[in-house]
Structure 1
Amino acid sequence: MLYDLFQVSLKAGEEILDVYAHDFDVEFKEDDSPLTQADQRAHQAIVAGLKGVGGEIPVLSEEGKEIDYQERKDWDQFWLVDPLDGTKEFIKKNGEFTVNIALIEGKYPALGVIYAPALDEFYFGSKEKGAFKLVDASKAVIANEEDLLEKSIRLPEVKQNDVTNVVASRSHMSPETEAFIEELEGKVEVVSSGSSLKFCLVAEGKADYYPRYAPTMEWDTGAGQAIVEAAGGKVTRHEDGERFYYNREDLLNGWFLVSKT
């Protein structure tokens, strides 16, 4: 299944980059904007691809979020998808936007993939296989899952040192995040990245913590959580320290903390 999701992600990435390659000036996500075009084209590519991977497994996507809770509340398994995560990064053209796909089983992510098309980096993880990163993903010769695993780097890659690295938003630092950093002992450095790549920094071992004390949606976090957990990390709710879960009636996430161990 990971190989199939790799192919689906590459296809979605192609659709996004086709739009991204052209000059555009957009401030908001309006109908027929380049951002909306990229979203929709990636969404269509992913949904079509997942039909060939998971058969009848339903899809909950940012571009298809109108599915009523009464319809989805009894789902045992579903795909959680953000076709294009990182609106600001896409508009700024800094390359730090991603395609996110997670398989949720029993309200928790069982596997997830994150592809950064402009960076051509593919992150993936499952509870059975562990977590991995493939660089130059679109150029790699990958014929099956065995190839994918063999040619990828197992995560975490970075070993522990005497500095605590914290991922913070590129756009702004909230007072709560500042307070979290101040409470840490020893030398602390702040690293930043866009979109779900923040999760990937923790999975790689390049960051120890990613405190998210601001709103996100379920499709923003499912794939990242799967990869972090596959790398031995945790994603916990701020209010009670419990494991983050999915398919809630309200798809708006509460605050959470991503930690390397």
Structure 2
Amino acid sequence: MTTSSSTALARDLKSGALSLAIAEIAEEAARLILPYWRAGTAVETKSDDSPVTQADRAAEALILERLAALYPGVQTVAEEAVSANGAPASAEDWFWLIDPLDGTRGFVRGGEAFTVNIALIHGDHPVAGVVTAPATATTWRTDKPEGGAFRRQFGALQAGEAHAGEDWRPIRVRDRPQEGMALLSHSVTDEEATRLAARHGCSRWQGTDSSLKFCLIAEGRFDAYPRTGPTSEWDTAAGQAVLEAAGGRVLADDGQRLSYGKAKFLNGAFVAMGG
């Protein structure tokens, strides 16, 4: 990475301009994805048995192109590139984690719970992140490094506009209610979901797909998201950034903050929590 790119990243991160810029990119990718949704898009199976569509590949290509134009030479770790070419041997000091279409299984089924995830990692933790839900035209983002998270509904882009839709609104985790509500992956059984929810102080739970779980906790609608099965770092980094900026936490099994740049960019068990 060039010195100028490193300087630009640090400058734009500090001012909050970086998260606004990557929000625009994520929303552009969302608009690209939507015509493929519920349109009978062809589905292929990758070597890990996960599905991939042309929407995944087109969105990733757009995101990589836009990020390279803004910040040349910054390392990118993106799901489809890793699937095709393997993971980088190691992480650099600054790098992007990109999931162009998180929740592809749900997307293929015609469900709404799929997202575009873009996160910037510095050292071994996310310092900026954006999650966009194309089906509901909703974006969540971090602000400046000192904290703060925001949400907006975005609309169709009009000629000459940087964006359309609502203004950004601040979001914050809620204080834990007497009867907490957990979010769980659809990959777990009802019995396991009930056990995991209770383990983290929640008497009720709901299943949903993708990184939406982090964002719904960040905006104060739910309280915990425990995960025992493996995930890739691009699945969690943007959501973690948003949740932490909104006052929440994401902890690994050892009780430490979930970190990034691990071997093969894979996560172990973790729990995401609100207040």
**TM-score band w.r.t. shorter chain:** 0.7 to 0.9
Indicate the larger mover: 115-124 or 55-64: 55-64
1:86-133 CA-to-partner distances (Å, cap 9, x unmatched) read 022101111110000000000100010001111100011143351111
Q: Cα deviations across residues 34-57 of structure 1 (Å, max 9, x unaligned)?
A: 942111100100001101222221
Q: Answer whether contact 2:229 2:269 (CA < 8 A) is retained.
A: yes
Matched residue, 2:153: 135
Task: Flag the 1:136–1:184 CA change in 2: closer, same or farther, 3 A.
Answer: same
Q: How far 1:61 sits from its partner (Å)?
A: 0.3
CA distance in 1, matches of 2:134, 2:199: 36
1:143 Cα deviation from its structure 2 partner: 4.2
Cα distance in 2 for partners of 1:112, 1:64 equals 20
Q: What secondary structure sits across from 1:94 in the alignment?
A: coil
What is the distance in 2 between the residues matched to 1:19 and 1:78? 29
Residue 61 of structure 2 corresponds to residue 47 of structure 1: no
Q: What residue is the counterpart of 1:165 in the other structure?
A: 181
1:69: Cα distance to partner? 4.1
The aligned amino acid for 1:212 is: R
Cα distance in structure 2, aligned partners of 1:156 and 1:137:
23
Please state if 1:96 is matched with 2:113: yes
What does residue range 1-261 of structure 1 map to in structure 2 within 5 Å?
1-24=18-41, 26=43, 28=45, 35-65=52-82, 66=85, 69-70=88-89, 72-73=90-91, 75-126=92-143, 127-138=145-156, 143=162, 151-156=167-172, 161-173=177-189, 177-183=193-199, 188-238=203-253, 240-261=254-275
On the 8 A contact 1:104/1:246 being kept in 2, the answer is: yes
Distance in 1 separating the partners of 2:110 and 2:154 = 19
**1:42–1:84 Cα contact (<8 Å) kept:** yes
Letter in 2 for 1:178: T
Provide TM-score, normalisation by structure 2. 0.81
1:179-201 deviation digits (Å, cap 9, x = unpaired): 2333455x722123211001111
**3-state SS of paired residue (1:41):** helix
Percent identity of paired positions between Structure 1 and Structure 2: 35
Report the Cα distance in structure 2 between the residues aligned to 1:6 and 1:111, rounded to whole angstroms: 10
Work out the CA distance in 1 between the residues paired with 2:187 and 2:30.
24
Distance 1:11 1:169, change over 3 A: same
Q: What code does the residue aligned with 1:202 have? A: I
The SS at the match of 1:84 is strand
Q: Is the 8 A contact 2:175 2:274 kept in 1?
A: no
> Does structure 1 retain, via aligned residues, the 8 Å contact 2:44–2:52?
no
Unaligned runs of 5+ residues in structure 2 are 1-17
Q: TM-score, normalised by structure 1?
A: 0.85
Deviation string for 1:159-207 (max 9, x for gaps)? 654320111123433755432333455x722123211001111111111
Answer with 17-26 or 199-208: which moved more: 17-26
Unaligned runs of 5+ in 1: none
CA distance in 1 between counterparts of 2:187 and 2:230 reads 14
Structure 1 letter corresponding to 2:72 = G
User: How many residues were matched structurally?
Assistant: 251
Q: 1:255 to 1:35 in 2, by over 3 A?
A: same
Contact conserved, 2:174 with 2:274, CA < 8 A, in 1?
no
